[in-house]
Amino acid sequence: MKSNASDLSTSAFMLERSSPRVAAPPGYWRIAWQSPRGNACSLLIERRSLVVSTGLFVALLCVCVLYLGLGSMALAPSAVIPALFGAGEMISVFTVQELRLPRLAAACLTGGAFALAGVLMQTLARNRLATPGIIGIDNGATAFAVASIVNVGVSIAPPAMALVGAATAAALTFGLVAGGGTQGYRFIVAGFGVGAVFGALTQLMLARVAIDVANAAYPWTVGSLNARHDNAVGLLAIGLTVGIVAAGFVARPLSLMRFKDATAYGLGINVKAWRFQVLMLSVVLTALAVAVAGPVGMVGLIGPEIARSLSSSRQVPFVASLLSGALVMVLADLAGRTLLAPIEIPVGIVIAVIGGPWLLWILMRPQRSHA
């Protein structure tokens, strides 16, 4: 009798234990709950990407405090943080809130947008060197912005013209490949050509005007955060917010589009439709960022590269790319502002000088072994 009862209780226990227990795949946390309609819901969170993103976010915050404190008037972090909230000396509040904060915001937003656009396009093209800069969007924006400065006849502000230029370059590239499908590499080749044409146009315009006018157009040819327009920054902030949400939606299909098209189709992904949407997202993000900072597209190469070296290959590192891009941009602009003060080096040049060799090193070093 006694043993029977204990058998029964054991089997009931087993039944209860065995049915709902689901182990998360290695490297993930699983959150499961019941929806109000009674459907079983589950989310997977990749541990490494959470850790990496948190780390990058903390690093970005530290660098931001540093950025707000350093400059012609140096402030200790203990003075920066109260000044952010309007406490402390008037002059430090003014310096932090009015002078440095808007520029910091522009640096974070442009860096994040370039890097997010970069990681999207690299995933689509299955090529870690593909960035929106390479497909001519930067050059289109520059050509139009320079045109608006050089030709007195045009009364539209350069950022608006940069936006129009980016859209024109993208439309041209889309138009040129329309006949041959939306194959990633074809798009890149066409974009490369379009970019070359716009680059040549910029040079032609600069060569034909007085040196003063050419000087005024100079920041648009290298990329700088000095001459920002508030409207353009606001637009970028909205665009990037939408872009982050959209990136969340494309994350799953995009992680499958890293395979060959046939594999992704076989798994039920409408590759063509997703490719077009992701391409548009990448183009819009780049265009908005170029309208603020000019052609600093190299961040779109460096940000994702840092993110990939820190992340696992289970998914596409969106968040880490975004944060790395912002981090690189803030650091570069900080260096540009302070290294040769009072002379300022445009952020585009800092990134090219430091980023170029660093990128070379990244690309030339032997691959990580996964054994």
- The residues that touch another protein, with contacts defined as CB under 8 A, are 19-26, 28, 30, 35, 39-44, 252, 256, 258-263, 265-270, 312-314, 367-368, 370-371
Q: Which two tokens stand for residue 20?
A: 């709902």
Residues in Cβ contact with 159 at an 8 Å cutoff, skipping those fewer than 6 apart: 145, 229, 231, 232, 291, 292
CB of 346 to another protein, least distance (A): 36
CB of 233 to another protein, least distance (A): 32
Beta bridge pairs of residue 31: 43
Instruction: Indicate the residue type of 189.
Output: V
Of the two residues 2 and 370, which places its CB atom closer to another protein in the complex?
370
Q: Which residue has the tokens 């602009």?
A: 333
Rounded Cα–Cα distance for residues 228 and 179 (Å):
38
Q: Which two tokens stand for residue 113?
A: 């947008």
CB of 134 to another protein, least distance (A): 21
Of the two residues 267 and 341, which places its CB atom closer to another protein in the complex?
267
CB of 44 to another protein, least distance (A): 5
Ordered DSSP codes for 33-47 = EE-TTS-EEEEEEEH
Q: How many residues does the chain have?
A: 371
CB of 43 to another protein, least distance (A): 5
Of the two residues 48 and 229, which places its CB atom closer to another protein in the complex?
48
Of the two residues 151 and 313, which places its CB atom closer to another protein in the complex?
313
CB of 114 to another protein, least distance (A): 23
CB of 371 to another protein, least distance (A): 6
Positive or negative, the CA dihedral 249, 126, 142, 196 is negative
Of the two residues 273 and 341, which places its CB atom closer to another protein in the complex?
273
Q: How far apart are the first and last CA of the chain?
A: 56
Degrees, nearest 5: CA angle 176-178-180: 95
Residue pair 114/302 in contact by the 8 Å Cβ criterion: no
Residue pair 21/29 in contact by the 8 Å Cβ criterion: no
CB of 242 to another protein, least distance (A): 18
Of the two residues 255 and 338, which places its CB atom closer to another protein in the complex?
255
Q: Which residue has the tokens 């204990």?
A: 6
Q: Beta-carbon neighbour count of residue 5 at 10 Å?
A: 9
Rounded Cα–Cα distance for residues 371 and 368 (Å):
9
Q: Identify the three-state secondary structure at position 268.
A: coil
Of the two residues 2 and 21, which places its CB atom closer to another protein in the complex?
21
CB of 119 to another protein, least distance (A): 13
Of the two residues 124 and 329, which places its CB atom closer to another protein in the complex?
124
Ordered DSSP codes for 163-200 = HHHHHHHHHHHHHHHGGGTT-HHHHHHHHHHHHHHHHH
Of the two residues 208 and 260, which places its CB atom closer to another protein in the complex?
260
